[in-house]
Amino acid sequence: MTDHPFSRRDLLRLGLTAGAASLAGACGWQGGPLQPFLRGASHLNDLVGEGLTSYGLAPQYPASARTAEKDFPGYSRSHPVPPVDPAWALEVGGLVRTPMRLTVEMLKALPRVTYTVKHHCVEGWSAIGTWTGAPLSSVFSLVAPTAEAKFLRFDTFDSGYFNGWDLKSALHPQTILAYAFNDRDLTQKHGAPLRLYSPIKLGYKLTKYLTKMTFTAERAGGYWEDRGYPWLGGV
């Protein structure tokens, strides 16, 4: 019988973990010195999510399934959100061959994608709405990213809110620069004049009030991502 020493050591370790876990539960603890470990685990989940997931098309719903607009929340950092600059245009740059400034009219001239899908918020709520816009892939062909471009960074005029994206998710056929919601021009609540939309990401990744779209070699963080939310945010 050689298993006794193992079991005792194991049990001691487990006891310590259990004790720590219940103590942590008791204080509403965020992790303290364990936070780097938690972030590391979150990063590992991102890698698994990026590497192993198949990006099929998100299920679509009939327009009759839409959530009432009053029940469809739209969060922002600033209250109120600053008015849109009359000279507004989306600046597309970074590691690209042809940097461009795109107006909503120019985007409306690109191929149009429209779908009624479920929106998943990290908070746990879900809502159904119809989004219309230009596929991000069509913007890729306009600006021609260079081989060094590995990530995207989206900036806004909403108090410094920003997001980093992986290119695989950005090239998903349902990832769009949306200018319309439920068949009408985007309202301020939902990110007018232009927002990022995709049914394969959690809501906080779907940057509203866009100003800039930058191709980068390094992974850009994000407003919430830098505060602890999962970076990938894929659903």
Stretch that binds another protein, among 47-55, 82-90, 144-152, 182-190 (CB under 8 A): 47-55
Residue 85 per-residue DSSP state = P
Q: Is residue 139 near another protein by the rule CB under 8 A? A: no
Query: Which residues does 112 contact at the CB level (< 8 Å), separation at least 6?
Result: 132, 133, 134
Judged by beta carbon, residue 38 or residue 109, the one nearer another protein is 38
* Number of residues that this document lists for the chain: 235
Cα dihedral 163, 169, 171, 174 sign = negative
Q: Is residue 47 near another protein by the rule CB under 8 A? A: no
Judged by beta carbon, residue 142 or residue 171, the one nearer another protein is 171
Q: Is residue 7 near another protein by the rule CB under 8 A? A: yes
Which residue, 164, 174, 161, 167, is CA-closest to 56?
174
Cα dihedral 198, 57, 135, 49 sign = positive
Residue from 51, 62, 68, 97 in contact with another protein (CB under 8 A): 68
Q: Which stretches of the chain bind another protein, using CB under 8 A?
A: 1, 3-4, 6-7, 10-11, 14-15, 17-18, 21-22, 24-31, 37-39, 41-42, 45, 49, 53-56, 58-59, 67-68, 70-73, 118, 120-128, 199-200, 224, 227-230, 234-235
